[in-house]
Chains A and B, each alone.
Chain A
Amino acid sequence: MEYFIQQLINGITLGGVYALVALGYTMVYGIIQLINFAHGEFFAAGGYMGVILISWLAAQGVPPAVCLVLSLGLTMAYCALLATAVEQVAYRPLRQSSRLSVLLSALGMSIFLQNGLMLTQGVYDRAYPTEITRGGLHFGMVTLSYMQILIVAVTAVLLVGLNALVFRTRIGKAMRATAQDKTMSALVGINSGRIISLTFAVGAGLAAAAGIMVGLYYGSVRYDMGFVPGIKAFAAAVLGGIGNITGAMLGGFIIGMVEIMAAGYLSSEYKDVFAFIILIAVLYFMPTGIMGENVDDTRV
């Protein structure tokens, strides 16, 4: 029982990370019907930028809490800018081309960014300063580390914030309108190019936050860390119904939970396989996902 609760906690932590990454996929897909292969790279770039900023700020004598918040904010802003630049260079010129062209361009961008990271940051794992978040609460055999509390808290804040942005603000309304019908929304005066850029930026910002938290949680980052979590997060987005924001959050938690439970009770070697099997099964049996992909109101 205690083992189960422990796994439950781990599953929620990991699920939160997947949910954050999955949101970027689902928002971009919802608005321009593109599987953004480079999205996993924003996650990795966020991880690297985070370790760079945290170690630098810590060396300047900034108190740990301020240091974390500051680097989280800066990294998210940085990755958001990077994503708009990628969008401008690799996707915007292809707005009128076939979808295969854009997909291949995204794949090319992903390879480019990943190898850029490898060339300049090295092929080895890069250690995260973990002393900031060491320790935790113990309930009998169950451990709830401060790190996990931090991840869940940050995830919750970001998810609530995103919900507010999409469903409560004018910008969010414009995003939903553009996702539903680009021509029509352009006719009522929405600058769809800017809205698309903004969607990329928001998605990449969330992925960057996830990257930092994964780095803190596992204690290291690697240049190719974006690839496998990227596919799993995409699986989460599909599971929830692609284009559906609430669905992506739910899907992320489900995929994280399944992975942790499968690793704990079935086989830890094959834990990655389960996420892929879920992806394939969902696409085969219910391609619109749990929440449905065409629920227009929740689509971005």
Chain B
Amino acid sequence: MTTLGSRRRWAGFAIGLVWFFFLLWPLMGIKPGGLEFLPALLVWARIAVAALFVFVLWLLKQQGALGLLERPAARLGGSLSGAARAVPRGLWIAAVLAAAFCLPFFAERYALDVVINVLVYVCLGLGLNVVVGLAGLLDLGYIAFYGVGAYTYALLSVHFGLSFWLCLPLAAVFAAVAGCVIGYPTLRMRGDYLAIVTLGFGEIVRLVLNNWMSLTNGPNGILGIKPPALPWLVDGHWRMLEVRALGGLYYVILGLAAFTVLAVYRLNHSRIGRAFEAVREDETAAQLMGVNTFAIKLLAYAMGAIFGGLAGAFFAGRMRFVSPESFTFMESAMVLAMVVLGGMGSIPGVILGSLALIALPEVFRGFELYRMLVFGGVMAVMMILKPRGLWPARRVGQRSEERGRG
């Protein structure tokens, strides 16, 4: 059910929407050279056509005109899901893993690149999911931990020549420490104050990276980071070789992503996960039940930061270059959008969200520019239409009043 219950509210919303676009039109249409209303009008026209299409589909569905298509589809879906449930869950996971493992042998370079990107964002999204989805703390500076991880590996690799595998846990540790440093003063605050303070911290981290010339080389970034090394069979001997091919990098990030999924899944179903949930639902009640809320919130921060740090270290190793440009607020907003779009607290939801936000724009290459525009709009509309996301999380615990209803 949406928040727009009655028809009258819908009408008000629609009128508001038209009015909103009408008002935006002059702002976007007036150019230095003169008046150019056409480009903005074209964009609006596209949006209007898309909205109309969705609306007509919805109307048809309401009228039952789609029943012809829908009923067989529902029957097919039902039988499929029945068959799917008959297959043991382990088999499914094995199949997905096998498919993921075989991917580099079939996919071309470009597709592999996109998939690697998606997996990096899966790690980030799941990390943020621990903070936002499980513990209910809105963090708008999450990308700072990604930056800390990336710079940890970059600096250690360039200055001390340390290997990727040694730096990976170090990056996680540094990110966790950063999480605690940021978390300690901020966690006493209320919900939206916390959001704005984490945003401020995220910006501070970026500004420091940008201005600390002697350490980070400022806006020019750090060059010459070594890629991760993997054991490889050379002339009958196992050697650690640096991975430059995309295939190798793919396996590294696949491993990291699998580790993240597993860790977050286990966390979700653990005692700590329950505590996170209790803090999210009602902090005072959780405290009364003996949950050390401050420690639990700090832990959520540190846990989330760890996954961000791991993804950051991989990012540095893959790009072999880091600069503060990669850690702006827009990235934070994007990761947050993945979590929200997919469904807060839901692992498949977050994976779906990162697929939707990273892979879909690659498919619609021509709309590349419109990506952030669409995404801001979708984020606002999602809150109205489907506030719990595409794949809503199933709560592990239940509230007592829900249990009564069965």
Binding site for B on A (CB under 8 A): 33-35, 45, 48-49, 52, 55-56, 78, 81-82, 85-86, 88-90, 92-94, 96-117, 119-121, 126, 227-228, 231, 234-235, 238, 269-270, 272-273, 276-277, 279-280, 283-284, 287
- By a CB distance below 8 angstroms, the chain B residues around A284 are 185-186, 188
- Tell me whether A103 and B185 are in contact (CB under 8 A): no
- Tell me whether B195 and A108 are in contact (CB under 8 A): no
Enumerate 9 A-B pairs (CB-CB under 8 Å) in ascending A order. Answer: A35-B195, A85-B20, A89-B380, A92-B12, A94-B3, A105-B384, A108-B376, A228-B203, A270-B207
- By a CB distance below 8 angstroms, the chain A residues around B28 are 116-117, 119-121
Among candidates A33, A93, A116, A228, residue contacting B373 with C-beta atoms closer than 8 Å: A116
- By a CB distance below 8 angstroms, the chain A residues around B186 are 280, 283-284
- Tell me whether A103 and B195 are in contact (CB under 8 A): yes
**Chain B 361-386 interface residues, beta-carbon cutoff 8 Å to A:** 369-370, 372-373, 375-384
Among candidates B4, B20, B201, B380, residue contacting A280 with C-beta atoms closer than 8 Å: B201
- Tell me whether A52 and B30 are in contact (CB under 8 A): yes
Residue on A nearest B188 in the bound complex, by CB: A284
The reply on B233 being an interface residue by CB < 8 A is no
**Chain B 50-96 interface residues, beta-carbon cutoff 8 Å to A:** none
Among candidates A34, A98, A99, A105, residue contacting B380 with C-beta atoms closer than 8 Å: A105
The reply on B257 being an interface residue by CB < 8 A is no
Alpha-carbon distance between A165 and B375 when the two chains are bound, in angstroms: 38
Alpha-carbon distance between A185 and B278 when the two chains are bound, in angstroms: 35
- B19 → A minimal CB distance (Å): 5
Alpha-carbon distance between A241 and B281 when the two chains are bound, in angstroms: 28
Alpha-carbon distance between A78 and B23 when the two chains are bound, in angstroms: 8
- By a CB distance below 8 angstroms, the chain A residues around B29 are 120
- Tell me whether A231 and B200 are in contact (CB under 8 A): yes
Residue on B nearest A87 in the bound complex, by CB: B16
The reply on B197 being an interface residue by CB < 8 A is yes
Residue on B nearest A227 in the bound complex, by CB: B329
Contacts A93-B3, A112-B373 hold; do A104 and B208 have CB atoms under 8 A apart? no
- B377 → A minimal CB distance (Å): 5
Alpha-carbon distance between A156 and B96 when the two chains are bound, in angstroms: 65
- B378 → A minimal CB distance (Å): 7
The reply on B215 being an interface residue by CB < 8 A is no
Contacts A88-B20, A119-B370 hold; do A109 and B380 have CB atoms under 8 A apart? yes
- B338 → A minimal CB distance (Å): 12
Instruction: Indicate with 1 or 0, residue by residue over B194-221, a CB within 8 angstroms of chain A CB atoms.
Output: 0111011101100110110000000000
The reply on B285 being an interface residue by CB < 8 A is no
Alpha-carbon distance between A293 and B4 when the two chains are bound, in angstroms: 32
- By a CB distance below 8 angstroms, the chain B residues around A56 are 30
- Tell me whether B333 and A111 are in contact (CB under 8 A): yes
Contacts A112-B373, A119-B370 hold; do A97 and B383 have CB atoms under 8 A apart? yes
- Tell me whether B387 and A101 are in contact (CB under 8 A): yes
Residue on A nearest B191 in the bound complex, by CB: A99
- A99 → B minimal CB distance (Å): 6
- B278 → A minimal CB distance (Å): 17
The reply on B45 being an interface residue by CB < 8 A is no
- Tell me whether B196 and A279 are in contact (CB under 8 A): yes
Alpha-carbon distance between A247 and B242 when the two chains are bound, in angstroms: 58
Among candidates A92, A235, A269, residue contacting B200 with C-beta atoms closer than 8 Å: A235
- Tell me whether B383 and A104 are in contact (CB under 8 A): yes
- By a CB distance below 8 angstroms, the chain B residues around A235 are 200
Alpha-carbon distance between A96 and B387 when the two chains are bound, in angstroms: 12
- A73 → B minimal CB distance (Å): 16
Contacts A85-B23, A94-B3, A115-B372 hold; do A279 and B197 have CB atoms under 8 A apart? yes
Among candidates A108, A228, A234, residue contacting B377 with C-beta atoms closer than 8 Å: A108
Instruction: Indicate with 1 or 0, residue by residue over B124-159, a CB within 8 angstroms of chain A CB atoms.
Output: 000000000000101010000000000000000000
The reply on B99 being an interface residue by CB < 8 A is no
- Tell me whether B379 and A111 are in contact (CB under 8 A): yes
- By a CB distance below 8 angstroms, the chain A residues around B384 are 93-94, 105
- By a CB distance below 8 angstroms, the chain A residues around B382 are 108
- Tell me whether B373 and A97 are in contact (CB under 8 A): no
- A292 → B minimal CB distance (Å): 15
Residue on B nearest A75 in the bound complex, by CB: B27
- Tell me whether A81 and B23 are in contact (CB under 8 A): yes
- Tell me whether A277 and B204 are in contact (CB under 8 A): yes
Q: Which of A35, A108, A228, A276 has the most CB of B within 10 A?
A: A108
- By a CB distance below 8 angstroms, the chain B residues around A45 are 27
Instruction: Indicate with 1 or 0, residue by residue over B13-48, a CB within 8 angstroms of chain A CB atoms.
Output: 100110110011011111110000001100100000
- Tell me whether A82 and B43 are in contact (CB under 8 A): no
- By a CB distance below 8 angstroms, the chain B residues around A98 are 387
- By a CB distance below 8 angstroms, the chain B residues around A85 are 16, 19-20, 23
- B37 → A minimal CB distance (Å): 10
Top 4 A-B pairs ranked by shortest CB distance?
A108-B379, A111-B376, A112-B376, A88-B16
Known pairs A94-B383, A112-B373 / 10 extra A-B pairs, C-beta < 8 Å? A82-B27, A107-B379, A111-B372, A111-B375, A112-B377, A119-B43, A121-B28, A238-B196, A270-B211, A280-B185
Among candidates B20, B196, B201, residue contacting A89 with C-beta atoms closer than 8 Å: B20
- By a CB distance below 8 angstroms, the chain A residues around B383 are 90, 94, 97, 101-102, 104-105, 108
Alpha-carbon distance between A117 and B188 when the two chains are bound, in angstroms: 37
- Tell me whether A97 and B3 are in contact (CB under 8 A): yes
- Tell me whether B199 and A231 are in contact (CB under 8 A): yes
Residue on B nearest A96 in the bound complex, by CB: B3
- By a CB distance below 8 angstroms, the chain B residues around A126 are 32
- A213 → B minimal CB distance (Å): 18
- By a CB distance below 8 angstroms, the chain B residues around A121 are 28, 31
- Tell me whether B372 and A272 are in contact (CB under 8 A): no
- A126 → B minimal CB distance (Å): 7
- A148 → B minimal CB distance (Å): 26
Alpha-carbon distance between A99 and B377 when the two chains are bound, in angstroms: 18
Residue on A nearest B198 in the bound complex, by CB: A280
- A70 → B minimal CB distance (Å): 15
Residue on A nearest B199 in the bound complex, by CB: A231
Q: Which of B31, B376, B381 has the most CB of A within 10 A?
A: B376
